[in-house]
């Protein structure tokens, strides 16, 4: 075992992790541990834009952005956090420009802006141009720009180090309310060598991204297995609002590859088998630019009422054929290439088959507005921070607006980096590591290695498929008590059978077989949390739609879910929503 | 067409076919039949859909036949740059290459990209590649203090370097370059693309420092205009053109 000592350890090198690293490494000795090379992170797959009320092309202001974010999140958003998100958005975009990000430009040379779902002028009057963008590869530009700045600042990366355990000073579930629980470090597995490393640190930031692979049809990368959220849960800390998962309306049919909402922002129209622009029925004012939860449900509803397209009537069409090819090439080059490459469809002349795809976890590791991780409704874990998709501040509530996630990673990544470094500077030393700090991870790795010839009969791929298929079938856009109960049964069964798993590779070097088995264990536990929260939430709000409880119930459920792991299963508690100026109203677009 | 048996399936009429992947393997720790570090070819037979990606076929092998097969991947749709490999003797991304676009009647050859040390199977050591990228100072070097708002840039100025901003650092270009294979010093096409992205950015003032680096013996003059890099780029970047624009800037002193 190798032991390292840092002021700040950042886990994850996507947008949030690298934005944090740029702040932290200026102020404190910082290491960034990432399971991928930084430029492989899924921030790079984000397409459409980053919201900020710059008013570069039309009147806009922070208040309208806050209102849209709160309403878009079906009032489950913590309004103090949304205020920070939208107020700091302008500087977040300008900071990226100054770092060199190549935004698209207006004729007079300013950052160009375009329309996106749920972003409106004057509290819902009409769509507003708020998304700052770089063609349909805004996330790619953000990831590259942040990496370039990390190169400039000589940030220290540990590439292909899989962090598998979070070390705390004591078990938070045994600690009294108000007592201090502090972070001590993390334990990581090095892919190249199979060696286990312990990192002691005064501050740790989790920026580990999402968990889309709990579903089969997803826009998420293979590597988005929710490791960070899973480790937090195993450490005895809660996860917030995990039942709220966003299904992006327009994944390539059958594949789930993301086609940006920017396609509709640039004028694209959704049509059913009769050619009808059906969003006019669901959202008369802003139509195709309604928030994602509403559009995803509308598409699923068209399909199940028999108005789907194709031989199996199982998708709808995204029509760009009325747009000029030159306009498509300038604004939407990548997504139209995806349609050509993967479906053989030419978007200039043919509409593109689309269907909702699992896209984004609104929930995650609960944090304060300074990115400190909560261990219950009020106490924080000293020195532990989280930012980006793995975190829940909560700025997205029950449904995130498009372009607010690239904003989230920049605003709260920056806040986490500053707060973690300042905490480290004010702290004499990290808590002592427990004896044999690496024993847990070393034991886990050894157990899996010895499964190669241990007679186990279950496979990683087989169990993963069962979880993903039940999640797609039972926990997608439409949910019921019956569907969720069925999913819970499958997950419990898979969890038990995981004990009897066997892998193939006993090697020390580049053993991705072993790591897929570890990732699966996180997926199973997170699927369990999603389903438990969804079963208990007997209402419909944002991305969580219960057919047996089809309306929002503010009296009973205007509260955040807080899920804890326990020997008896998931234990649920609830936390109040922060409401400052916007009282809940019916959500119409 | 004897090796391919096409039968219709229930899945939207997409044909199921039998394919063979012939994969160049190496296990640094050895296997029962092969010494540590020894290269060998291994064939896998599987059933696949014509519209499957090579990455899907690799996953099918790893998940159903041999979990020890090692390769990198993440996004699976051509934007993260993890899975550049040599497929039928051409550098491509496994997630952007569909089986139907190869000739499935013959075994599909899959090898690691060439010119970087192989670590295990299709995984290579990317560090020398990233080291070259870091050498060209791949970050904006603007002149003067930052303005309060954004720096201005016209659409035409922005368009000037658009092509080279698309790079995903997958190394398909660099490891397709015959000069890179034989000359251990050459930065390779990607580092030049990375420099181009800044040299032709109107906001950047570091162009002469970067051009001086590229004028070095390891720099652009090593390029023999083989166009392999342009053909290999999965993002459609005109790599050879970018290199020639840099040569032109060095020759004329004009950008």
Q: A462: nearest CA in chain B?
A: B63
CB–CB of A141/A319 below 8 Å?
A: no
User: Across the interface, which of A40, A109, A141 has its CB nearest the CB of B165?
Assistant: A141
Residue that finishes a domain, picked among B101, B124, B147 = B124
The per-residue pLDDT string of chain A (589 residues; one tens digit each, 9 = 90 and over) reads 799 999 999 999 999 999 999 999 999 999 999 999 999 999 999 999 999 999 999 999 999 999 999 999 999 999 999 999 999 999 999 999 999 999 999 999 999 999 999 999 999 999 999 999 999 999 999 999 999 999 999 999 999 999 999 999 999 999 999 999 999 999 999 999 999 999 999 999 999 999 999 999 999 999 999 999 999 999 999 999 999 999 999 999 999 999 999 999 999 999 999 999 999 999 999 999 999 999 999 999 999 999 999 999 999 999 999 999 999 999 999 999 999 999 999 999 999 999 999 999 999 999 999 999 999 999 999 999 999 999 999 999 999 999 999 999 999 999 999 999 999 999 999 999 988 999 999 999 999 999 998 889 999 999 999 999 999 999 999 999 999 999 999 999 999 999 999 999 999 999 999 999 999 999 999 999 999 999 999 999 999 999 999 999 999 999 999 999 999 999 999 999 999 999 999 999 9
List, in order, residues 6 or more apart from A350 with CB less than 8 Å away: A321
Interface residue B184 vs chain A (CB under 8 A) = no
Strand partners, A205: A10, A385
Interface residue B203 vs chain A (CB under 8 A) = yes
Q: Which of A466, A465, A484 is nearest to A475 (CA)?
A: A484
Separation CA A131–CA A117 (nearest Å) = 10
Strands in B61-164 per DSSP E: 84-87, 90-93, 108-111, 118-120, 123-124
Q: Is residue B2 part of a domain?
A: no
Whether residues B79 and A334 touch (CB distance < 8 A) is answered with: yes
B118 and B169 inside one domain: no
The confidence score (pLDDT) of residue B23 equals: 98
- Render A54-82 in DSSP notation, one character per residue: --SSS---HHHHHHHHHHHTTT-S-HHHH
Separation CA B194–CA B131 (nearest Å) = 12
ipTM, interface predicted TM-score of the complex = 0.96
**Residue A292 bears catalytic tag:** yes
B86 and B163 inside one domain: no
Q: Is residue B21 part of a domain?
A: yes
The confidence score (pLDDT) of residue A205 equals: 98
The confidence score (pLDDT) of residue B13 equals: 60
Strand partners, A364: A240
Separation CA B66–CA B45 (nearest Å) = 12
B101 and B152 inside one domain: no
Whether residues A109 and B63 touch (CB distance < 8 A) is answered with: no
Backbone angles phi, psi at A581, to 5 degrees: -120, -15
Separation CA B194–CA B114 (nearest Å) = 20
Domain count, chain B: 2
Three-state DSSP class for residue A453: helix
Interface residue A257 vs chain B (CB under 8 A) = yes
Strand partners, A185: A167, A200
B131 and B248 inside one domain: yes
Residue that finishes a domain, picked among B124, B158, B183 = B124
Interface residue A330 vs chain B (CB under 8 A) = no
A159 vs chain B: nearest CA distance in angstroms? 10
Interface residue A222 vs chain B (CB under 8 A) = yes
pLDDT in tens, B49-100: 999 999 999 999 999 999 999 999 999 999 999 999 999 999 999 999 999 9
CATH number, domain of B171, equals: 1.10.1060.10
pLDDT at B7 over 90: no
Separation CA A310–CA A325 (nearest Å) = 25
Interface residue A512 vs chain B (CB under 8 A) = yes
Strand partners, A8: A30, A203
Percent share of chain B, pLDDT over 90: 88
pTM of the model: 0.97
B164 and B221 inside one domain: yes
B162 and B227 inside one domain: yes
Per the prediction, chain B carries an average pLDDT of: 93
In whole angstroms, how far apart are CA B160 and each of A112, A258, B199, B202? 17, 28, 10, 9
In whole angstroms, how far apart are CA A517 and each of A108, A362, B54, B201? 53, 25, 22, 45
B148 and B228 inside one domain: yes
B102 and B217 inside one domain: no
B120 and B137 inside one domain: no
Q: Is residue B220 part of a domain?
A: yes
Whether residues B75 and A192 touch (CB distance < 8 A) is answered with: no
Spell out which residues of chain A touch residue B68, defining contact as CB-CB under 8 Å: 504-505, 507, 513
In this complex, how many residue pairs, one in chain A and one in chain B, have their CB atoms less than 8 Å apart? Answer: 150
The number of beta carbons lying within 10 Å of the beta carbon of residue A59 is 11
pLDDT at B4 over 80: no
Instruction: Tell which A residues from 157 to 196 touch B, by Cβ distance under 8 Å.
Output: 192
The alpha helices in A105-153, defined as continuous H runs, are 138-152
Q: Is residue B1 part of a domain?
A: no
Separation CA A260–CA A269 (nearest Å) = 13
Whether residues B134 and A151 touch (CB distance < 8 A) is answered with: yes
B228 and B144 inside one domain: yes
B104 and B39 inside one domain: yes
List, in order, residues 6 or more apart from A429 with CB less than 8 Å away: A202
Q: Is residue B100 part of a domain?
A: yes
Residue that finishes a domain, picked among B88, B107, B124 = B124
> Which domain covers residue B120, as residue numbers?
7-124
- Judge if the upstream peptide bond of residue A394 is cis by omega within 30 degrees of 0: yes
B166 and B215 inside one domain: yes
Q: Is residue B94 part of a domain?
A: yes
User: Across the interface, which of B76, B126, B140 has its CB nearest the CB of A99?
Assistant: B140
Q: Exactly one of A292, A375, A464, A546 is catalytic; which is it?
A: A292
Separation CA A254–CA A310 (nearest Å) = 12
Interface residue A121 vs chain B (CB under 8 A) = no
CATH number, domain of B49, equals: 3.10.20.30
Running DSSP on this structure, what letter comes out for residue A176?
A: P
Separation CA A416–CA A420 (nearest Å) = 6
Provide long-range contacts, Cβ within 8 A and 24+ apart, for A273-276: A273/A307, A273/A308, A273/A309, A273/A313, A273/A316, A274/A307, A276/A307
CB–CB of A582/A70 below 8 Å?
A: yes
Task: Kindly tell me the burial class for residue B24, based on how many C-beta atoms sit within 10 Å of its own C-beta (0-12, 13-18, 19 or more).
Answer: middle
């Amino acid at each position: 075992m190798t032991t390292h000592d840092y002021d700040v350890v950042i886990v994850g090198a996507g947008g949030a992790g690298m934005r944090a690293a740029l702040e932290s490494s200026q102020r404190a000795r910082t290491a960034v541990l990432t399971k991928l090379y930084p430029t492989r992170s899924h921030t790079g797959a984000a397409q459409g834009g980053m919201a900020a009320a710059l008013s570069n092309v039309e009147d806009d202001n922070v208040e309208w952005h806050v209102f849209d974010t709160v309403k878009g999140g079906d009032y489950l958003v913590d309004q103090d956090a949304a205020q920070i998100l939208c107020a700091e958005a302008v500087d977040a975009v300008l900071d990226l420009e100054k770092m060199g990000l190549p935004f698209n430009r207006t004729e007079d040379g300013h950052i160009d802006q375009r329309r996106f779902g749920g972003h409106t002028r004057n509290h819902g009057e009409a769509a507003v141009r708020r998304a700052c963008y770089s063609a349909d590869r805004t996330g790619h530009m953000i990831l590259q720009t942040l990496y370039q700045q990390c190169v400039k600042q000589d940030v220290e990366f540990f590439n292909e180090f899989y962090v598998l355990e979070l070390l705390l000073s004591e078990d938070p579930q045994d600690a009294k309310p108000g007592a201090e629980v502090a972070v001590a470090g993390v334990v990581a597995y090095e892919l190249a060598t199979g060696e286990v490393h312990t990192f002691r640190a005064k501050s740790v930031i989790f920026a580990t991204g999402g968990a889309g692979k709990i579903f089969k049809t997803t826009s998420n990368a293979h590597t988005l297995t929710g490791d960070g959220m899973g480790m937090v849960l195993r450490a005895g800390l809660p996860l917030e609002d995990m039942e709220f998962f966003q299904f992006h309306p327009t994944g390539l049919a059958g594949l789930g590859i993301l086609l940006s909402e920017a396609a509709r922002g640039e004028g694209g129209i959704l049509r059913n088998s009769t050619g009808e622009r059906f969003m006019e029925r669901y959202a008369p004012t802003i139509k195709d630019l309604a928030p994602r939860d509403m559009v995803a449900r509308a598409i699923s509803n068209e399909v199940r009422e028999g108005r789907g397209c194709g031989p199996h009537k199982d998708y709808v069409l995204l029509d760009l054929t009325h747009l000029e090819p030159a306009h498509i090439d300038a604004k939407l080059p990548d997504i139209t290439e995806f349609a050509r490459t993967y479906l053989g469809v030419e978007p200039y002349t043919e509409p593109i088959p689309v269907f909702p795809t699992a896209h984004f976890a609104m929930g995650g590791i609960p944090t304060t507005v300074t990115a400190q991780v909560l261990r219950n409704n009020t106490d924080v874990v000293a020195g532990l921070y989280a930012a980006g998709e793995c975190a829940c501040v909560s700025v997205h509530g029950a449904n995130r607006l498009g372009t607010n996630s690239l904003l989230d990673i920049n605003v709260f990544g920056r806040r986490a980096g500053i707060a973690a470094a300042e905490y480290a500077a004010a702290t004499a030393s990290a808590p002592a590591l427990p004896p044999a700090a690496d024993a847990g991870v070393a034991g886990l790795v050894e157990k899996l290695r010895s499964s190669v010839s241990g007679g186990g009969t279950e496979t990683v791929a087989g169990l993963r498929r069962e979880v993903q298929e039940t999640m797609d079938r039972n926990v997608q856009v439409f949910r019921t008590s019956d569907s969720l109960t069925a999913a819970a049964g499958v997950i419990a069964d898979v969890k038990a059978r995981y004990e009897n798993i066997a892998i193939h590779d006993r090697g020390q070097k580049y053993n991705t077989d072993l790591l897929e088995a570890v990732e699966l264990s996180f997926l199973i536990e997170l699927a369990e949390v999603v389903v438990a929260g969804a079963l208990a939430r007997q209402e419909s709000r944002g991305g969580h739609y219960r057919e047996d409880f089809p309306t929002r119930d503010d009296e009973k459920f205007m509260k955040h879910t807080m899920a804890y792991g326990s020997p008896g299963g998931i234990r649920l508690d609830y936390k109040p929503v922060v409401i400052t100026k916007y009282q809940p109203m019916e959500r119409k677009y | 067409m004897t090796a391919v048996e096409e039968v219709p399936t229930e899945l939207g009429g997409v044909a199921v076919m039998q394919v063979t992947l012939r994969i160049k393997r190496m296990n640094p720790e050895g296997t029962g039949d092969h010494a540590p570090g020894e290269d060998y070819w291994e064939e896998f037979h599987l059933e696949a859909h014509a519209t499957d990606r090579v990455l899907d076929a690799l996953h099918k092998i790893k998940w159903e036949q041999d979990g020890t097969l090692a390769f990198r991947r993440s996004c699976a749709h051509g934007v993260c740059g993890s899975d550049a490999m040599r497929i039928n003797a051409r550098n491509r991304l496994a997630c952007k290459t569909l089986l139907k676009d190869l000739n499935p009647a013959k075994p599909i050859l899959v090898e690691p990209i060439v010119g970087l040390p192989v670590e295990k199977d299709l995984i290579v050591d990317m560090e020398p590649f990233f080291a070259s990228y870091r050498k060209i100072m791949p970050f904006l070097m603007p002149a003067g203090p930052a303005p309060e708002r954004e720096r201005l840039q016209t659409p035409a100025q922005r368009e000037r370097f658009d092509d080279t901003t698309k790079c995903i650092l997958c190394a398909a270009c660099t490891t397709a370059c015959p000069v890179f294979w034989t000359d251990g010093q050459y930065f390779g096409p990607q580092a030049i693309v990375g420099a181009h992205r800044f040299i032709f950015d109107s906001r950047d003032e570091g162009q002469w420092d970067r051009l001086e680096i590229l004028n070095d013996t390891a720099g652009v003059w090593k390029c023999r205009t083989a166009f392999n890099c342009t053909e290999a780029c999965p993002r459609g970047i005109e790599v050879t053109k970018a290199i020639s624009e840099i040569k032109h800037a060095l020759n004329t002193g004009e950008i």
